[in-house]
Chains A and B, each alone.
Chain A
Amino acid sequence: MRLTERVRGDNKSRKPQREMMLQQTEIEVGGCKIGMRRGGQGERLLFLHGAQGLNGHEPGLEALAAHFDVIAPDHPGFGQSELAATVDDVGDLALFYLDLLDVLNLDEVHVVGQCLGGWLALEIAIRNASRLKTLVLVNSAGLRLNGVPRADMFACSEDDLLKLLFAGTGGSAWLKAWRETPDVEDIYDRNRAAAARYSWSPRLCNPKLDRWLHRVAVPTHIVWGREDRVIPPAYAEALKDRIPGATVTLVPDCAHMLHLEQPQAFVGEIAKFIRSAAR
């Protein structure tokens, strides 16, 4: 906890005028301590982060908290969360999150997943969607399309990775600045190791997932940074074709990290979709 306070302190010292909506808390799921950010008011929204983990006070999440009660855990092994002895892969992770939803007793929850988190959301939804109200997939991993080349995040240097994740320089500058705060290197290393744990091979996908996507029985919207090279927009179309009733928006001037690079588009798409799904 102390670590988080320090990181938040650094953030505040740079932007003293800004009050952060999301607060760090901790819960326990099956004996595993899970770090979690929570804040905002409205319907409940579970944000499942991607392979890069949660990076300080992400502008996209802060803006979401103006519309929703945002719940953003660190997956086991990421950020402030311990590794869970029960979780080796994304299938395990999905069952772990079903336990987490039980612990928090969340019903009618909107789930938003980016990258690895989108894959996780799909694995949850095909198993048990009874606590889910809607699903938003943001530059989501999980599928494998033959013949669509993807860039390898794990083979990049830190600098090249920043170039790969963003279309422009605004988002990468933000992420770079956060990563240069003290103690963050440990979290960066932890996040990378945890991401490898769940998604090294096959890289960022479950080749069997597309057999079961017809089971995604909640209203689903797909939002994608059009310049994404980690998971190119062809995947957005492929997901749309496989998930009953799903819709797609491609966002220009944006790559893999929509929530950091175009936070307004990110929040706008989510809020608009959830409003329309309620009708």
Chain B
Amino acid sequence: MKILMFHLMPYAHLDMSFSQKYRAAWVVLPNTYFDPKKGHELYNRYLDELELAAELGFDGVSVNEHHQNAYGLMPSPVVTAAALSRRTKSARIAILGNAFCLREHPLTLAEEHAMIDCITGGRLISGMVRGIGAEYFSLGTNPAYSHARFQEAHDLVVEAWTKPGPFSFEGKYYHFDYVNVWPRPYQQPHPPIWAPSTGSIETIEWAAHPSRKYVYLQAYSPTQSVARYLNYYRECAQRMYGYTASSDRIGWSTPVYVSDTDQKARDEAKPHIEILFNKLLRLPFEMLFPPGYLSAKSLKNMRTHKRSVSGQEHTVDTLIEQGIIVCGSPDTVRKQFIDTHRLLGFQNLLCLMQFGTLPRELTERNIRLFAREVMPALQALTDKEYGGMEIRAAE
């Protein structure tokens, strides 16, 4: 199994009384809450944490994109990925993801990704996402065309990476007379493309298509949902497309916290993880799902269940109980991952080792303890340890 350390780079110095005045730490929270001097320290500290993970043998380090918020300070993950490029030697640099379709010019991102891929000698993983609903308020992109634009931006970028230029691209949303991206990506035909999501049937069916076979990454979900969606990828490959999905095509992304004992881990993680889920990640329904962002069917599901991760008040105990986070002693955490792998067989694991206000010392200890006590056993896991999934025979 490949293990990556993921960072959100939250604004940990946020005055948490903001929630009495503002509906969310997104879109409407004034940027006067951000102190650039503290930001300077945080960015450098967070990059140190990712670099430490790379030194300690994580297979990759990962960053992502969010706009106009205190939850994650990377409106351009390309910037942080570029900073990591020269400070890491063999780890993968995973941008999970970039929202190509939010841009009027997805080719600028295609160029930047190709640059990072060349600089790192082919260590880039390109994640493609639509961005969360709030992004459509922040950047003004029309959510009603989001699915269609996502697919077209993807097609444009993959063509730009693979087809000899110059050529013209005539889409519905994008029109370019000269597509001729310099540099071309180092990895051929192009960097691996991953599709991170908090659970979307449409995304899974798209990612699993035989012409793509992209890695689907399930984020922020109770164990049951992780199981449902990761198994759906395999089912979809088998039933819809007639091939057997390889286990390295699926992954799980989750916050992880390790300390000496289960109780100590809970106590240490508690205030910081609760801030992540109850303050930073909290979004009103209409901001999370602007009109047209979800298909009618998905929106109906969402309304019926109203069980979105950002919709309820969490405690460290409920988060652990539901399997949304993995937290405990090294033995507990190792066992939980091995057990879940036996059930689901995913070959990629993305660990959020810093969350909310978790301070530098605890984050570093978390990374070191995980790398020493947990990670080697997980990196050794292969399909041999996967129990396999019974696909109910359709025939």
Contact at A192–B291, with CB atoms within 8 Å?
yes
CB distance from A80 to the nearest CB of B (A): 14
CB of A196 closer than 8 Å to a CB of B: yes
Residues of A within 8 A of B27 (CB): 155
CB of B296 closer than 8 Å to a CB of A: yes
Would you list which residues of chain A between 141 and 194 have a CB under 8 Å from chain B?
Answer: 154-158, 185-186, 189-190, 192-194
Contact residue among B144, B284, B303 (Cβ-Cβ distance under 8 Å from A185): B303
> Given A157-B286, A196-B291, A196-B292, are A186 and B137 neighbors across the interface (CB < 8 Å)?
no
Contact at B144–A196, with CB atoms within 8 Å?
yes
CB of B175 closer than 8 Å to a CB of A: no
CB of B287 closer than 8 Å to a CB of A: yes
Contact at A186–B300, with CB atoms within 8 Å?
yes
CB of A214 closer than 8 Å to a CB of B: no
> Given A189-B296, A192-B291, A195-B291, are A200 and B142 neighbors across the interface (CB < 8 Å)?
yes
> Given A154-B291, A189-B299, A189-B300, are A196 and B286 neighbors across the interface (CB < 8 Å)?
no
> How would residues 193 to 213 of chain A score, 1 for a CB under 8 Å from any chain B CB and 0 otherwise?
111110011100000000000
Residues of B within 8 A of A200 (CB): 136, 140, 142-144, 290-291
CA distance A156 to B28 in the complex (A): 12
CA distance A134 to B93 in the complex (A): 63
CB distance from B180 to the nearest CB of A (A): 28
Contact at A190–B296, with CB atoms within 8 Å?
yes
Contact at A155–B287, with CB atoms within 8 Å?
yes
CB of B379 closer than 8 Å to a CB of A: no
> Given A189-B300, A190-B296, are A201 and B141 neighbors across the interface (CB < 8 Å)?
yes
Residues of B within 8 A of A193 (CB): 144, 291-292, 296
Would you list which residues of chain B between 106 and 150 have a CB under 8 Å from chain A?
Answer: 136-137, 140-145
Residues of B within 8 A of A195 (CB): 291
Residues of B within 8 A of A197 (CB): 142, 144-145, 292
Contact residue among B28, B142, B287, B296 (Cβ-Cβ distance under 8 Å from A186): B296
Residues of B within 8 A of A201 (CB): 140-142
CB distance from A41 to the nearest CB of B (A): 37
CB of B46 closer than 8 Å to a CB of A: no
CA distance A88 to B172 in the complex (A): 10
CA distance A210 to B145 in the complex (A): 26
Would you list which residues of chain B between 264 and 314 have a CB under 8 Å from chain A?
Answer: 284-287, 290-292, 296, 299-300, 303
* Chain A residue, CB-CB nearest to B139: A201
Residues of B within 8 A of A202 (CB): 140
Contact at B143–A156, with CB atoms within 8 Å?
no
CA distance A194 to B136 in the complex (A): 16
CB distance from B393 to the nearest CB of A (A): 35
Q: Which of B140, B141, B286 has the most CB of A within 10 A?
A: B286
CA distance A157 to B137 in the complex (A): 14
Contact at B292–A157, with CB atoms within 8 Å?
no
CA distance A154 to B291 in the complex (A): 7
Residues of A within 8 A of B285 (CB): 157
CA distance A202 to B139 in the complex (A): 11
CA distance A164 to B205 in the complex (A): 39
Residues of B within 8 A of A189 (CB): 291, 296, 299-300
Contact at A157–B284, with CB atoms within 8 Å?
yes
CA distance A88 to B284 in the complex (A): 28
CA distance A192 to B28 in the complex (A): 21
Contact at A154–B286, with CB atoms within 8 Å?
yes
CA distance A202 to B299 in the complex (A): 24
CB distance from B26 to the nearest CB of A (A): 11
CB distance from A13 to the nearest CB of B (A): 26
Residues of A within 8 A of B144 (CB): 193-194, 196-197, 200
* Chain A residue, CB-CB nearest to B28: A155
Would you list which residues of chain B between 3 and 58 have a CB under 8 Å from chain A?
Answer: 27-28
* Chain A residue, CB-CB nearest to B303: A185
CA distance A201 to B144 in the complex (A): 11
Contact residue among A158, A185, A186, A196 (Cβ-Cβ distance under 8 Å from B290): A196
CA distance A128 to B41 in the complex (A): 61
CA distance A69 to B291 in the complex (A): 33
CB distance from B170 to the nearest CB of A (A): 16
CA distance A189 to B300 in the complex (A): 9
* Chain A residue, CB-CB nearest to B292: A193
Q: Which of A156, A195, A197, A202 has the most CB of B within 10 A?
A: A197
* Chain B residue, CB-CB nearest to A158: B286
CB distance from A189 to the nearest CB of B (A): 6
CA distance A154 to B300 in the complex (A): 18
* Chain B residue, CB-CB nearest to A202: B140
Residues of A within 8 A of B141 (CB): 201
CB distance from B293 to the nearest CB of A (A): 8
Residues of A within 8 A of B303 (CB): 185
Residues of A within 8 A of B299 (CB): 189
> Given A193-B292, A197-B292, are A156 and B286 neighbors across the interface (CB < 8 Å)?
yes
Residues of A within 8 A of B137 (CB): 154-155
Would you list which residues of chain B between 141 and 174 have a CB under 8 Å from chain A?
Answer: 141-145
Residues of B within 8 A of A190 (CB): 296
Residues of A within 8 A of B296 (CB): 186, 189-190, 193
CB distance from A50 to the nearest CB of B (A): 14
- B contact residues vs A (CB 8 Å cutoff): 27-28, 136-137, 140-145, 284-287, 290-292, 296, 299-300, 303
Instruction: Please name the 6 residue pairs, one residue from A and one from B, whose CB atoms are nearest each other, closest first.
Output: A192-B291, A193-B292, A196-B291, A197-B144, A200-B142, A201-B140
- A contact residues vs B (CB 8 Å cutoff): 88, 154-158, 185-186, 189-190, 192-197, 200-202
Q: Using A157-B286, A196-B143 as known contacts, list a sample of 5 further A-B pairs with CB atoms less than 8 Å apart, ordered by residue number in A.
A: A154-B286, A193-B144, A193-B296, A197-B145, A200-B143
10 A-B pairs within 8 Å (CB atoms) are namely A154-B286, A155-B27, A155-B28, A157-B286, A189-B296, A193-B292, A194-B144, A195-B291, A196-B143, A201-B140
